[in-house]
Amino acid sequence: MSFEKTLTTPNGIKYTQPTGLFINGEFVASKSGKTFESISPATEEVITEVQYANAQDVDAAVDAAEAAQEAWGEMDPDERATYMFKLASALEEKYELLAAIDSWDNGKPYSAAKGDAQAVARIFRNYAGWANKNHGDVIETDNNHFSYTRHEPVGVCGMVIPWNYPLLMLSWKIAPAMACGNTSILKAAESTPLSALVFAKICQEVGIPKGVVNILTGFGDAGAAIANHDRIMKVAFTGSTATGRKIMECSAKTNLKKITLELGGKSANIVFDDADIDNAIESTLNAIFSNQGEVCCAGSRLLLQEGIYNKFLKLLAERAEKLKVGDPFDENVYYGAQTNKIQFEKVLSYIESGKREGARLVTGGERLGNKGYFLKPTIFADVEDHHTIAHEEIFGPVLVVFKFKNVKEAIKLANSNAYGLAAGVHTENVSRALWVANHLRAGSVWVNTYNATHYNVPFGGYGLSGIGRELGRDVLANYTETKGVRIANIRKAIE
């Protein structure tokens, strides 16, 4: 049976789309024989069907990953790096195809998806460079012992990723895991499975050893099987706080596997009176409307100082109303379609909640067109704490706006939410910027910009926004175990 289908993306790229589960270096059928559809959110049309993984398929992937673990983990780090550099180059060569697939499958603009795909190649290249540098330390204790640490692979790692950045989230997890000598089982999001399968095909083409990378497509039952599996030693998850809690429970009830959780957010974007207004407006638009607002760290709470509140709000609404929303392959589109029908309807329900509870709708607040999951850029002002939209994560192009008087009030308001993934600060006063950044309970703080992630800078949250860090050097600790070794009686060498 063939698990490939010839497809042509909306911008005319003809390619071979794998549709099987990628286990032990091959595309195979699911144990149940079930499949599910992947749907374009821009047209609501079926793109293709892929295999539906269940717990039995997770078992098969674990068998393959376990079999590959010893050789990959004990491989000369330079050799691991060579494999990863080769993979990075192949991803770079095919970034336009990968971007077109993500845009088609996810609904994001092709221009944005190209940026994602280029970043994926850079991330694999970056962590290839870490493969031979994640070493331990020699520790001075006393004259009679030689003490050192080793950073050893965790083992088989499970990964469950969301649909908002299909390729990017894959790279954030698989790249550092590979560099540290681990094997991986990744479940792609059910709404956006296609680019992960093409990534698997690229792994196959460049000769990544069988079992090192395994890709499953499926729903929550496959994710639950990964979280509960006794032979998976670490789980990395990006998604909702509710699901993150369940994964923690699974770890506690099974083998106490290591976990990292990059969860939700309701991030504050603070604009002071002295900010560069034009820059702050463009930054605010990017903070909430890029990627259809489907960003964990989106600046979904705008905090405006009272001196510029009315002026800024008026200018922001005028700019938001000019944003082009529509066909992801239109180069002039600012954002595309919400990724799936469930999320589309969820965002609409939050908008109705805001209207019903008394927040002032400044602009937007409705569906755009009759086909595809498109929403107008939406801004609510005069938001109060008792409003549902004030504190719950909406995960769509909906901004809620608050007013503050001074620095102390801004920090208090920003920190009043249980999430703590990110924050933005806009001011021309460097001392104020540093003070506020240092007092915000958020894993990332961007000053006079927003969403400025970089693979060398750690990313993660406080509070309900998660546990652990992705990216940077910090992520390597998530994929290694530190072993301390002490050798006694070394003084005998001089006796």
Terminal-to-terminal C-alpha distance of the chain: 71
In angstroms, what CA-CA distances link 292 with 181, 189, 259, 326, 340?
36, 17, 29, 10, 12
Average pLDDT of span 310-322: 98
The model's pLDDT over 73-84, given as tens digits with 9 standing for 90+, comes to 999 999 999 999
Give the pLDDT of residue 316.
Answer: 98
| pLDDT > 90? residue 143 | no
| pLDDT > 70? residue 494 | no
Q: What's the chain's average pLDDT?
A: 97
For β-strands 183-188 and 156-160, DSSP reports them as parallel
The model's pLDDT over 199-229, given as tens digits with 9 standing for 90+, comes to 999 999 999 999 999 999 999 999 999 999 9
**How far, in Å, CA of 42 to CA of 107, rounded?**
6
DSSP 3: -
Q: Predicted confidence band at 2 (pLDDT cuts at 50, 70, 90)?
A: confident
Average pLDDT of span 139-149: 93
**How far, in Å, CA of 391 to CA of 393, rounded?**
7
Q: Predicted confidence band at 492 (pLDDT cuts at 50, 70, 90)?
A: low
Query: 15-29, 47-61, 135-149 — which is least confidently predicted?
Result: 135-149
Give the pLDDT of residue 1.
Answer: 72
| pLDDT > 80? residue 495 | no
Residues annotated as part of the active site: 262
| Domains of the chain with CATH codes | 4-263+465-482 (3.40.605.10), 268-447 (3.40.309.10)
Q: Name residue 346's amino acid.
A: K
Q: Predicted confidence band at 489 (pLDDT cuts at 50, 70, 90)?
A: confident
Give the pLDDT of residue 135.
Answer: 92
The model's pLDDT over 333-386, given as tens digits with 9 standing for 90+, comes to 999 999 999 999 999 999 999 999 999 999 999 999 999 999 999 999 999 989
